[in-house]
Structure 1
Amino acid sequence: MTRTKYRTYLFLFAFLAGVVSSLPARPVQAQVLTDTVLHQTILKALDNIYNSDFAEADVYIRQLRSRYPQHPAGPMLRAMQLYWQHIPLKDNKVATAQYGQACEQALTLAKKRLDKDADDPEGVFFALTAHSYLALKYHNDDELMKAVNEARRAYSYMKQGFELTEKNPEFYFTTGLYNYYVERYPMENPIVKPMMWFFKSGNMPLGLRQMEAATRRATFTRHETAYYLANIYLQHESAPTRASAWLKPLTERFPDNPVFLMRYTESLLLNGQYDEAARLMPRLKAMPRAFLNVPIQLFEGLLAEKEARNDRDAGTHYQAALRHTFVMPYTKEYHAMAYAGLARIAARANNSSLAKTYYSKALGISEYKSLQREAKAFK
């Protein structure tokens, strides 16, 4: 593989990993929509996965795999369950192996459907999802070339999905996400611009409209589309108010989902709604998930700094956040925010040199445009 193609596929992997890393796409398509039992069983499994009731989700997944052994929904849901249950998945070797097996099983069943009909929307969707899940696994296992190869295979199915949005509204999610990021990514990473000839052009406003259409018209990808819209408004558009509008309903429907609650609390803090954010902190602290250590300390630091105006307490919390290892992709940005908080504290203490050091560390890991602007503006 040439260097140019290699770097192009690295971009492709980065995009596809983003599709599944935070919130794996929900399995769905034609048979699901015409078979009421299958449809309802998948919905119940998904709702339980999203609400962290993994034992109950397992009951429905077993029913699916028993009643529909040739359908890829069962193993794909199993992979999704493992992903959510063991954040970060890469730290659990047994769960990682089971995840890989479930992805391979789903892919085999999806390809059987495509062997009968190469344009079968259900086969296309599950093949896209399975290859994307496998790309993520290989990336986590530090097998980069395997990850790139899986991403390349996934892209071929993604392109088929571009033509299937009217046949099945679930494709509004992946198509809209692609249309947004294929334009946004090179804007923020100019080094990849020469390689973008490989990809079909996108349209960011259209991508956002397509994702919004998915939240209205899709059945199974509705919630993850809302989550991704919130992420876009937080990370790229610097619009926490709009992010909150998408995240609040998710936390109400799935009150035990730690990721949804974490991101909603973040959006409130970034929007200056400190009282509302403070009211959510006891719920967040009560969730027994180790990856929440970083955001809990960061959020306490932001409340101390922004609301209580207590730099000493804020600095203690920011340092505590940095002592915990961040989990990709969920809490890496929170380390950047902690460094930025320490930089602001140093600046108020007239320690410009230390502030610059902290802002430099923040810039080294931050992906949020608002934080990058803050760090670059400091002189």
Structure 2
Amino acid sequence: MLGLSFSGRAQVLTDPVAQQTILKTLDDIYNLEFANAEVQIRQLQTQFPQHPIGPILRATELELQYLPLHENKAATAQFIQSVEQGLSLAKKMLDKDADDPEAVFFALTAHSYLASLYNNKSESLKAVGESKKAYNYLREGMVLIGKNPDFYFTTGLYNYYIERYPMDHSIVKPFMLFFEDGDMALGLKQMDIAAKKGIFMRPAANYYLAHILLKHEMSPGRAVVYAKYLADKYPRNPLFGMINAEALLLAGRYAEARPYVQRLKQMPNKLVPMAVNTFTGMLAEYADKDDKEAAEAYELALRQPFNDPYTKEYHAFAYAGLARIAARANDRNRARMNYKKALAVGQYKALIREAKAYK
């Protein structure tokens, strides 16, 4: 047992051997190969018992293993326990050295994981509480950005959203005085660095960049770069499979999208079937010019429930598809009705623009 009995900073992420084990573990987690990941997590916990890396990796594993985690009570309890264990170890490291980059990073990650979980569970007060705690570590991470490439992700995400969020939610503008200003263009550049050089956050940086480019920037062609990297590297991951199919379809690359949609059909995760029906509708509508088949697929998608954090937008896509089909059939009332329904659930800028433009 090596442990971490030596004095000074306990930097696991910069240790070349440990770093390779961590990257391999994360690759296994994100490709849903949990038996392999479990062996490596145990190895890291044995080797570094006083470091948060083991518990935080286990929390990451639980989130992917039981996706969507917030719908599984037992797994959620295990997840919270792992995150709190990681947070406790990070705080012990901070007691010894308040500027320890890894301790700051894992404390930030722990609070962010909890904030995300509570947000997905619609427990707003708890989510806000965790976000406030995360913000303190996030600001420290901005100063330590040169010490850990993963801080490029957290800093970039902050720089982007602190400017973007008030644009989309004007009600919060008065409260933004309490936060440091951001810079959206810089935020995208910083996340791109994390997408290429990050250790712990590389998959997340690619995923968030793809999502931002699709939802806010109306740049599906740019999103494909990040989404396709994830779908090809982690072919068993349903979230990465869905965002890649979506990006290719929105970019008009239908022939490339088709095999990825086929691959999604084989995935057992419960988030997938509704997404597959929406994507099948988009292929029928755009690539095959078959409005009848497209309408059937869209209607099938709308008979299936969406999962708010992950697949809500695909209902909006389906309503917009039905609206376009109705408009081509000169049924203006039906088109308007479906666009109205799309606006009620949709958040993508391009979709909102399309729906509002229809008179």
Q: For the superposition of Structure 1 and Structure 2, which TM-score range results when normalised by the shorter chain?
A: over 0.9
Answer yes or no: is 1:84 the counterpart of 2:89. Answer: no
Equivalent position SS for 1:31? coil
Q: Write the mapping of 1:287-306 to structure 2, written as runs, cut at 5 A.
A: 287-306=267-286
- Cα separation, 1, equivalents of 2:143 and 2:14: 21
- Residues 184-237 of structure 1 deviation map (CA, whole Å, 9 limit, x = unaligned): 111111111111101100001111111122233333323321222111111111
1:139, CA displacement in angstroms?
Answer: 3.2
Q: Write the mapping of 1:204-283 to structure 2, written as runs, cut at 5 A.
A: 204-283=184-263
Answer yes or no: is 1:42 the counterpart of 2:28. Answer: no
Q: Write the mapping of 1:9-158 to structure 2, written as runs, cut at 5 A.
A: 31-158=11-138
- Cα separation, 1, equivalents of 2:30 and 2:306: 22
Equivalent position SS for 1:355? helix
Amino acid across the alignment from 2:129: N
- Cα separation, 2, equivalents of 1:262 and 1:137: 21
1:30, CA displacement in angstroms?
Answer: 6.5
Amino acid across the alignment from 1:194: P
Amino acid across the alignment from 1:31: Q
1:66, CA displacement in angstroms?
Answer: 2.2
User: 210-219 or 177-186: which moved more?
Assistant: 210-219
- Residues 50-72 of structure 1 deviation map (CA, whole Å, 9 limit, x = unaligned): 11111111111111222221110
- Residues 337-367 of structure 1 deviation map (CA, whole Å, 9 limit, x = unaligned): 0111111111122221221111111111211
1:159, CA displacement in angstroms?
Answer: 0.9
User: 348-357 or 49-58: which moved more?
Assistant: 348-357
- Cα separation, 2, equivalents of 1:218 and 1:98: 27
Query: Which residues of structure 1 form unaligned runs of 5+?
Result: 1-28
- Residues 122-141 of structure 1 deviation map (CA, whole Å, 9 limit, x = unaligned): 11111111111112233344
Q: Write the mapping of 1:144-223 to structure 2, written as runs, cut at 5 A.
A: 144-223=124-203
Identity %: 57
Amino acid across the alignment from 1:172: Y
- Cα separation, 1, equivalents of 2:304 and 2:46: 42
Question: Structure 1's 158 and 326: CA in aligned 2 closer, same or farther, altered over 3 A?
Answer: same
Amino acid across the alignment from 2:27: D
Which of 1 and 2 has higher RCO (CA within 8 Å, sep 6+)? 1
The match for 2:298 is 318
Among candidates 361, 364, 370, match of residue 341 of structure 2: 361
User: 214-223 or 151-160: which moved more?
Assistant: 214-223
1:241, CA displacement in angstroms?
Answer: 0.7
- Cα separation, 2, equivalents of 1:34 and 1:232: 29
The match for 1:8 is none
Q: TM-score, normalised by structure 2?
A: 0.94
- Cα separation, 2, equivalents of 1:283 and 1:32: 36
Verify the 8 A CA contact 1:45 1:60 in the aligned structure 2: yes
- Cα separation, 2, equivalents of 1:34 and 1:247: 27
Runs of 4+ in 1 over 3 A off after TM superposition: 139-143
Equivalent position SS for 2:222? helix
- Cα separation, 2, equivalents of 1:310 and 1:216: 40
Verify the 8 A CA contact 2:295 2:325 in the aligned structure 1: yes
- Cα separation, 2, equivalents of 1:55 and 1:161: 33
Query: Which residues of structure 2 form unaligned runs of 5+?
Result: 1-8
- Cα separation, 2, equivalents of 1:132 and 1:224: 12
Answer yes or no: is 1:340 the counterpart of 2:320. Answer: yes
Answer yes or no: is 1:370 the counterpart of 2:355. Answer: no
Verify the 8 A CA contact 1:30 1:121 in the aligned structure 2: no
1:282, CA displacement in angstroms?
Answer: 2.1
The match for 1:22 is none
Verify the 8 A CA contact 1:278 1:303 in the aligned structure 2: yes
- Cα separation, 2, equivalents of 1:34 and 1:235: 34
Q: TM-score, normalised by structure 1?
A: 0.89
The match for 1:285 is 265
Verify the 8 A CA contact 1:43 1:220 in the aligned structure 2: yes
- Cα separation, 2, equivalents of 1:214 and 1:34: 15
Equivalent position SS for 2:11? helix
